[in-house]
Structures are given as structure tokens and as C-alpha cells.
């Protein structure tokens, strides 16, 4: 009993929209005009990566034979989240190092 074509299209659109949301901060300018802009980008990326990791881990039990792939993607998302948090902390500490 295959899923309906509408469900398949909706799932594909949601996956595409999620990918655009995760990559959106990368399209922002490299040199922010305000110091808060850089931290806002890091916060947005961290939130999206955290949500992605939670989604991968929540859907892994229902993935059947693809469970290991979902868990791997979840762990990669957590690794990205840790890197984003580390980068945000470095951005906050960096001005203090030069004083």
C-alpha cells in the first residue's frame, strides 16, 4: 500500500524547506555591520541544528531499515550544533582576549 502522491510531494517540500532554513544563515553577509548580527546568526544556526537533531532522533525508531542513517544524521547534527555553540562562545570571548 504505497503512500499517496500528495503525501510524497508534501514530504519532499518540507525537506527542501528545512534544508533552506538550515542554510539560510550562510547566505547572510560575511562582515556584519553590528556585533549582534554575528551572534544572531550563530544562535539561529544553533537552534535549527538542534531542531534537526531532535527531529532525526525522534523519527529514527519509525524509519525501519533506515534507522541507522537517521541516527547518523542526528549525531552529525549534534556535532554541528556543538561547533556552532563553540564558535559563538569564541566570538563572545575574542574581544576580551585583545584587551
First to last CA, the chain: 66
* pTM (two decimals): 0.63
Q: Where are the domains of the chain?
A: 5-97
pLDDT tens, 4-33? Answer: 878 878 888 888 887 777 777 666 666 656
pLDDT tens, 41-51? Answer: 778 888 888 98
- State how far Cα 84 lies from the chain centre: 10
Contact 45, 84 (CB under 8 A): yes
Amino acid at each position: 500500500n504505497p503512500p499517496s502522491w500528495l503525501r510524497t510531494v508534501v514530504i519532499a517540500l518540507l525537506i527542501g524547506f528545512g534544508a533552506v532554513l538550515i542554510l539560510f544563515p550562510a547566505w547572510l553577509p560575511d562582515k556584519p555591520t553590528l556585533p549582534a548580527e554575528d551572534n544572531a546568526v550563530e544562535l539561529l544556526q544553533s537552534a535549527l541544528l538542534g531542531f534537526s537533531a531532535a527531529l532525526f532522533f525522534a523519527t529514527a525508531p519509525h524509519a525501519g531499515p533506515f534507522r541507522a542513517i537517521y541516527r547518523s544524521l542526528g549525531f552529525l547534527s549534534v556535532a554541528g550544533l556543538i561547533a556552532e555553540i563553540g564558535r559563538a562562545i569564541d566570538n563572545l570571548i575574542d574581544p576580551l582576549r585583545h584587551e
